Structure 1
Amino acid sequence: MDPLTKKQRHNNMSHIKGKDTKIELKLRKALWHKGYRYRKNYKKLPGKPDIVLVKYKIVIFCDSEFFHGYNWENKKKRIKTNEKFWIKKIERNMKRDKEITDELENMGWVVTFLGF
């Protein structure tokens, strides 16, 4: 059972950002101060990576550990509401992440994930 009301859960989920997350902003600031120049949300590459160091052929995805299935076998046991929906969604995300990673690596890119 979800400890939050439907309204609280809706409010929580509506504030989850797809780009310019705190971790992305911190990483971009650190890269910039070290002299690395990058592109953000680069649409020219599969998966629209969060940060791309074009000069070095490095892409960085800043992903939520939950939504992208990191440590999935343990985390999936903790899903209490709408279990079928979340398991299907997250496993689909994991499959898509693998396909995008394979495609980028075949193009010669180094792919890195930063989970939070």
Structure 2
Amino acid sequence: MDIVDSVTRSRMMSGIRGKNTAPEMLVRRFLHARGYRYRIHRKDLPGKPDLVLPRLKVCIFVHGCFWHRHPGCAYATSPKTRHEFWQEKFQKNVIRDLANIEALESAGWHVLIVWECCLKNDPDTLEGLAEKLRVIASNQSA
């Protein structure tokens, strides 16, 4: 049983954003400060990546652990009510994510995933992302 009524739950769920989330903004500010220029939420690419670096041909997704089911993550919990509904929803999210990644890679894009929990718990996550971008850039210029 839910601890709040359906009107309150609906209002709470409607407040969950899919774009411009705090983790996404953190990644955007970090990359911009280091000179990377990007486009956000390009609708012409599968999955509308959170950040697209066209010169490097890189797509970056900033995934929330709960919605995208980060394996082994403490934030990837499941609600206790409507268990079947949530499992089906999570499964569709994961399948859609994999299909989008596959489509992007087939089109020649590099796909990087940044997990919400890594941004919270690992101070080296953003530097690791920058290093991956440096490697991709150096491979393209070589």
User: Which TM-score tier does this pair reach, normalised by the shorter chain?
Assistant: 0.7 to 0.9
Shift in alpha-carbon separation, 1:58–1:81, aligned structure 2, 3 A: same
Return the alpha-carbon distance in structure 2 between the equivalents of residues 89 and 72 of structure 1: 18
1:48-104 CA distances to partner (integer Å, 9 max, x unpaired)?
10100111111111121111121279846x430111111001101101111111111
1:24-60 CA distances to partner (integer Å, 9 max, x unpaired)?
1111111111000000001121111010011111111
**Aligned residue-pair number:** 114
% identical equivalent positions: 39
Shift in alpha-carbon separation, 1:92–1:57, aligned structure 2, 3 A: same
Unmatched runs of 5 consecutive residues or more in structure 1: none
Unmatched runs of 5 consecutive residues or more in structure 2: 117-142
Matches within 5 A, 1:42-61: 42-61=42-61
Return the alpha-carbon distance in structure 1 between the equivalents of residues 43 and 25 of structure 2: 18
The structure with higher relative contact order (CA 8 Å, sep 6+) is 1
Task: Compute the displacement of 1:12 (Å).
Answer: 2.6
Partner of 2:32: 32
Partner of 2:138: none
Return the alpha-carbon distance in structure 1 between the equivalents of residues 33 and 46 of structure 2: 27
Return the alpha-carbon distance in structure 2 between the equivalents of residues 106 and 114 of structure 1: 20
Moved over 3 A (4+): 72-76
Return the alpha-carbon distance in structure 1 between the equivalents of residues 85 and 72 of structure 2: 15
Partner of 1:71: 71
Q: Name the TM-score, length of structure 2 as normaliser.
A: 0.72
Backbone CA RMSD of aligned residues: 2.0
